[in-house]
Each structure stands twice: as C-alpha cells, then as structure tokens.
Amino acid sequence: MKTGVCRQKSYCQTVSCDWKNKNVLRCQLESEHGKLVTAIRFKLDGQEIPEVGRKISMVYYPDINEYNGIVSIQFRIEDWRYV
C-alpha cells in the first residue's frame, strides 16, 4: 500500500535498466551499502532512463512483487535525478 509515511529518499548507482513494456521501466540499482535492489517506475511519459553507472537520488516506496508464485520486495520509484 502506498502511503506518504513510507516514502524515502536514497542514493543509488544504476547497474542496469530495461523496458518491461512501453510504460514500465525495471532497474537494478546498487545501494550506498553495496546491496543490489530491483526498482520499477510506471508511466514515464518521455522522461529519460537512468544511465548505467551514474549515481542517482530517488524518491521511492517499498512494494511487494508477486509473479508466478515468487514473492520479492522491490522499490517503486516516484521520482529520480542525477547527483
């Protein structure tokens, strides 16, 4: 569930980004602590995608992804920028 309380700001380095379809961007990011995390962004409407290797600042909230019986945690990006 999306709530204002869950929103967080974090800095990550982009490892990879690819389009799941025309409206969903899926990225692998490396956290400040060296952990790999999956992040998605919906409805980009012409916004550029983060370049691999660039450090970004993002506003996100945690989300649970369920697909083919596999449950995982992912971040849903609300906004991002280069730092």
Q: Give residue 8's pLDDT band: very low, low, confident or very high (50, 70, 90).
A: low
pLDDT tens-digit readout, 33-82? 888 889 999 877 777 788 899 988 888 899 999 989 999 999 999 888 88
pLDDT at 4 over 80: no
pLDDT at 28: 92
pLDDT at 12 over 50: yes
Residue 53, helix vs strand vs coil? coil
pLDDT at 74: 92
- Answer for the pair 11, 33: CB distance below 8 angstroms, yes or no: no
Tokens representing 63? 């989300």
